[in-house]
Amino acid sequence: MLKIDLTSAAGFLPDDWFSSREAGLAQARTMLRDHSGPGGDFTGWVRLPEEYDREEFARIQAAAEKIRSDSQVLVVVGIGGSYLGARAVIELMGSADHRLARNAPEIFFAGNGLSTDALCELIDYLKDKDFSVNVISKSGTTTEPAVAFRIFKALLEERYGREGARGRIYATTDARKGALKGLADSEGYETFVVPDAVGGRYSVLTAVGLLPIAAAGIDAAALMEGAREAMEALDVPGADNPAWQYAAARNALYGAGKAIELLVGYEPSFRFFAEWWKQLYGESEGKEGRGLFPASVEFTADLHSMGQYIQQGARILMETVVRFRTSRRELLVPHDPDNVDGLNFLSGKSLQFVAEQAMRGTLLAHVDGGVPNLVVEAEARDERTIGQLIYFFEYACGLSGYLLGVNPFDQPGVEAYKQNMFALLGKPGFEARRAELELRL
């Protein structure tokens, strides 16, 4: 099970950092369990690893098997929480290796931006590939994925005919209503449900994330089992609970003037897990003028670009390091008879050992420079551990939001850019706003 090491943050935390927040954590736990806090209607994820719909899970597995059998590529169309969780898991598991080992399709993500060049490059790549599409949207009207789906739906129908395309489109959407649900029902697409009680950024363990994950050849059952283990372990109140420790420590550091939390990974494949984490915490806590700003860095690469600022810039930073204890393979540093680089003292040592010492040295340097470090220790990059990580950060985020005094399950600020974009695009009903914005621009 996951552990958290707060040793490198101890010097930055007040003596009562946990005790003064224990009652608040207990209250937050109750609100999450009873769905009784602000945004309680969207806490269906809390018991999800135990109470998920087994019948739909079986349909997800069957659809994933069909995609693996008839498609070289799966295009996942979605934005924000509709794609970040799936991409996080697929990349953290090592998508290329697992595609080759498990005879799974390549997974591409579209509809998460408005770049013409990026979309055209993907369209060109698909010209000689059999492909399927998983469109993910609760409403079906969000601009970026809706435009992308129009394009890929037309490509599928042009290549396979309307009937053939129907068997290659999988819609993950609202159970009862919305534009995408209506289209899926009328066209006969296989549909999966975005649960009403689970917001997008908490939805990776629903069909939203599980269909692309399973299609990539990843063991979705093991992922859910890891999440269930974390759910049980983290439901125990008290100072030994790592989620309580994480929530309390970051809240205390925020109160002490830390404004930015850097999520640190030492695996390149961790990059999109960090992107998922940034949405989770930024959208949950960043409101009412409050909240740590979530950012991420990839070490050791970013030590050669961001390291200077982290070491000596404004002292507003804290770091949360995710450390995987074991690598999948062993790679030894070879001996060089000429010792041109002066590194023969590393000969015969494993690269994992070298990386571990780099991590330890970096942690000490940053602490000496005034940057507290929290270390989340995970066992390995496998499905079970990743399931634990997902649930750990989700649960700690719910606790953290309630400690901060905000609703962790709404996102009212997200609508501002959408309203302006609709107006500038000429959407009916936005004429007055368009005129006002054009004057400002």
Selected catalytic residue, list 144, 229, 261, 283: 283
Cα angle for residues 46, 325, 383 (degrees, 5° grid)? 45
Selected catalytic residue, list 232, 349, 418, 438: 418
Q: What span, in angstroms and rounded, lies between the C-alpha atoms of 214 and 187? A: 24
Q: In 303-429, which ranges are E strands? A: 317-324, 373-378
Is 106 known to be catalytic? no
373 pairs with which residues across the strands?
Answer: 319
Helix (H, G, I), strand (E, B) or coil at 295: strand
Q: What span, in angstroms and rounded, lies between the C-alpha atoms of 100 and 402? A: 43
- Which positions ≥6 away from 142 have C-beta within 8 Å? 79
Q: What span, in angstroms and rounded, lies between the C-alpha atoms of 179 and 177? A: 7
Is 418 known to be catalytic? yes
Is the bond preceding residue 320 a cis peptide, omega within 30 degrees?
no
Q: How far is CA 374 from CA 3, 97, 233, 408, in A?
A: 11, 31, 19, 22
Catalytic residues: 283, 418
